[in-house]
Amino acid sequence: MNSIRRRLLIWLVLAYFLLPWAWWLAERGRHPQLETLPVRTANADGIPGGPVDVALVGTREELIGAMLAAGWYPADPITFRSSIGIAASVLLGRPDLDAPVSPLFLFGRKQDLAFEQEVGDSADHRHHVRWWLTDRSEDGRPFWLGAASYDKDSGLSHLTGQITHHIAPDVDAERDRLMAGLAAAGLLARQFQLPGMGPTVNGRNAGGDRFYTDGMIDVGVLGAGDQPPG
């Protein structure tokens, strides 16, 4: 029995810690121009947030066109009116397809673009992704970093007590879902992975929500000419 336990422990350590780290380290050298990019978001107070887990290569117009074609709605900017709208959506259980998302920061600035897919009849549950334009390029085209997560409910921040959404811990599932949707819609010319923050089993975002990840960034190269529909 002890032998079985030892073998199980060895398998767990190899499969979930050592091998993911080895893969992460091996991938670091494949795209040296992207090595120094940030791998984790932060809130306005500088508290570390969730991981950067997706990236797209393409122009702003191509990114917007691809997200729309894959069924994502642009999130409204945060204003008094949009804040009232999302509050009403959560409290009254009515749809708000373009509800605002809170600002997160990379490069000292909030997201350039944000998109979401509502689940059910309320903004209480939704898939969402934020995008930041970087100063790097891939194949001579703009390189965007993103952070995807799923809002499973709303409540008070575990760290600050402010009203916020709480994310589901499996952020890799959201990353994979987003990229699979773009690929299924025929919007990606190719895909590859980059090392992100590294394997993490008990991370916490800026709201205190737990998350876990293999620490990789899925990169999609958009087909040229993916434009928003008229």
126-147: pLDDT as tens digits: 899 999 999 999 989 999 999 9
* Band of residue 156 on the pLDDT scale cut at 50, 70, 90: very low
Question: Does residue 212 fall inside a structural domain?
Answer: yes
The number of domains in the chain is: 1
In a domain, 217, yes or no: yes
Tell which wins on pLDDT, 51 or 160. 51
Comparing C-alpha atoms, which of 176, 162, 165 is closest to residue 214?
A: 176
Query: Rounded to a whole number, what is the largest CA-CA distance in the chain?
Result: 66
- Residue 28 within any structural domain of the chain: yes
Q: What is the pLDDT, as a whole number, of residue 157?
A: 44
Instruction: Report how far residue 55's alpha carbon sits from residue 161's, in angstroms, rounded to the nearest whole number.
Output: 31
Query: Does the residue 228 lie in any domain?
Result: no
Other beta carbons within 10 angstroms of residue 176's beta carbon come to 15
Lowest mean pLDDT among 47-51, 144-148, 153-157, 178-182: 153-157
Domain of 136, in residue numbers: 2-222
Name, in order, each residue with C-beta under 8 angstroms of 1's C-beta and a sequence gap of 6 or more: none
In a domain, 27, yes or no: yes
**Which regions of 96-197 does DSSP assign to beta strands (E)?**
105-106, 109-110, 113-119, 122-138, 141-156, 163-167, 188-195
User: Which contiguous run of DSSP H or E holds residue 67?
Assistant: helix 60-69
In this prediction, residues 151-155 reach a mean pLDDT of 67
**Is the residue at 45 inside a domain?**
yes
Q: Is residue 130 a part of any domain in this protein? A: yes
In a domain, 230, yes or no: no
Question: What is the overall mean pLDDT for the chain?
Answer: 79
